[in-house]
């Protein structure tokens, strides 16, 4: 039983205390199996992000195992397709929308707003070409992110490799769109307008680095928000449950603090999970705007630079005129 205690809770610095505890339990007739069952291992807050294989499949050096991310991704796809099918005319939808139809119409009407606001300088037909891809990204992110708030579920977007998967194809696709619209002049994004000539070689080498990091930033932002928020809720809820099970009035009163914090964090965490879908949509639209309106952006920067120079000249002229007028008034 001593080995079981050390296995469950790690090596203790006070082995005498463990030995006396084990002797008391053995005297009371509690065996090692009952001890392991009654005292489970200390679980980590990150244990909820583990990926155990449900169906282990290996072909050569490749693994095609069916895991919990695969299961919850399939559940997300099934949920979205089922919801869309139920609100269509063939699925029994009504001309007067019910609650589910209103939800789908709200999602469908929400996506064109950031597309029209963020992607400027294009005709409506060209803007609508980007609508299907952005709409699919927003819809699946909206249904996929809050899954971790359901007990005994799995947060698919809590793993960097999963959030990075859609980010790189989107980055490559946006880069291709930029070359299609601007040709080789798309490479001029690495040299902003108004840059002094001595700094131009350094900026040409440095500017592509943040441009390529857009794919990483999109994946890291979603992964970090999901993991940090769910871990905080797990830590506080585990602390509240431990204090509640101690059968002590002092601990029961002290349990109210973590319990209220968990309840207070549940709403914002759900809001963060939903808002990340909106943030991802806005980011895609901004990146598309930078890629498609490269010439317009450069012209706007040049115009702003010229206007700034004119304002400086006007200010200096006013200052010089004021000084000259003051000198003339002197006797």
Res. 312 pLDDT band, cuts 50 70 90: low
Residue range 123-160, pLDDT digits in tens: 555 567 777 888 888 888 888 888 878 877 888 888 88
Show me where the domains of the chain are located: 1-42, 97-292
Integer-rounded Cα radius of gyration of the chain: 30
List Cα–Cα distances, 1 to 28, 34, 111, 113, in angstroms.
Answer: 13, 10, 60, 64
Instruction: State what percent of residues in the chain have pLDDT above 90.
Output: 0
The confidence score (pLDDT) of residue 42 equals 47
Distance in Å from the first CA to the final CA of the chain: 106
Longest dimension (CA), the chain: 112
According to the per-residue pLDDT averaged within each range, which of 15-19, 31-35, 71-75, 245-249 is highest?
A: 71-75
Res. 14 pLDDT band, cuts 50 70 90: very low
What tokens were used for 202?
């350094």
Name the residue among 280, 49, 263 with its Cα closest to residue 142.
280
How many C-beta atoms surround the C-beta of residue 272 within 10 A? 18
Judged by average pLDDT, the poorest of 1-15, 74-88, 216-230 is 1-15
Indicate the average pLDDT of the chain: 71
Q: Which residue carries 């299961």 as its tokens?
A: 71
Residues 6 or more apart from 200 whose CB is under 8 A from it?
191
Residue range 91-124, pLDDT digits in tens: 555 666 677 777 777 887 787 777 777 776 555 5
C-alpha angle 38/257/225, rounded to 5°? 85
The confidence score (pLDDT) of residue 92 equals 54
324 burial (CB, 10 Å; 0-12 / 13-18 / 19+) is exposed
Is the pLDDT at 245 greater than 60? The verdict is yes
The confidence score (pLDDT) of residue 3 equals 45
The confidence score (pLDDT) of residue 6 equals 42
Across the range 174-194, mean pLDDT stands at: 77
């Amino acid at each position: 039983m001593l080995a079981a205690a050390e296995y469950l809770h790690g090596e203790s610095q006070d082995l005498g205390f463990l030995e006396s505890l084990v002797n008391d339990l053995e005297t009371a007739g509690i065996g090692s199996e009952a001890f392991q069952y009654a005292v489970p291992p200390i679980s980590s807050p990150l244990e909820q992000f583990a990926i155990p294989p449900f169906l282990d499949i290996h072909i050569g050096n490749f693994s095609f195992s069916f895991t919990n991310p695969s299961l919850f991704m399939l559940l997300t796809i099934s949920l979205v397709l089922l919801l869309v099918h139920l609100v269509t005319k063939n699925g029994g939808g009504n001309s007067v929308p019910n609650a589910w139809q209103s939800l789908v119409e709200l999602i469908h009407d929400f996506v064109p707003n950031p597309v029209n606001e963020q992607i400027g300088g294009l005709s409506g037909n060209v803007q609508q070409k980007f609508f299907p891809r952005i709409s699919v990204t927003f819809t699946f992110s909206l249904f996929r992110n809050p899954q971790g708030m359901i007990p005994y579920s799995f947060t698919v977007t809590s793993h960097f490799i999963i959030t990075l998967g859609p980010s790189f194809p989107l980055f490559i696709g946006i880069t291709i769109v930029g070359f299609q619209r601007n040709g080789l002049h798309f490479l001029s994004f690495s040299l902003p307008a108004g840059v002094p000539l001595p700094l131009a070689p350094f900026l040409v080498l440095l500017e592509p680095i943040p441009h390529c990091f857009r794919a990483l930033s999109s994946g890291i932002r979603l992964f970090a928000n999901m993991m940090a928020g769910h871990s905080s809720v797990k830590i506080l809820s585990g602390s509240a449950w431990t204090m509640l099970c101690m059968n002590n009035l002092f601990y029961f009163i002290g349990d109210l603090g973590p319990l209220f914090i968990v309840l207070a964090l549940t709403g914002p965490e759900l809001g963060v999970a939903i808002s990340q879908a909106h943030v991802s949509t806005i980011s895609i639209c901004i990146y598309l705007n930078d890629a498609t309106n490269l010439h317009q952006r450069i012209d706007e920067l040049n115009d702003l630079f010229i206007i700034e120079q004119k304002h400086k000249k006007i200010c200096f002229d006013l200052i010089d005129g004021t000084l000259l007028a003051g000198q003339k008034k002197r006797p």
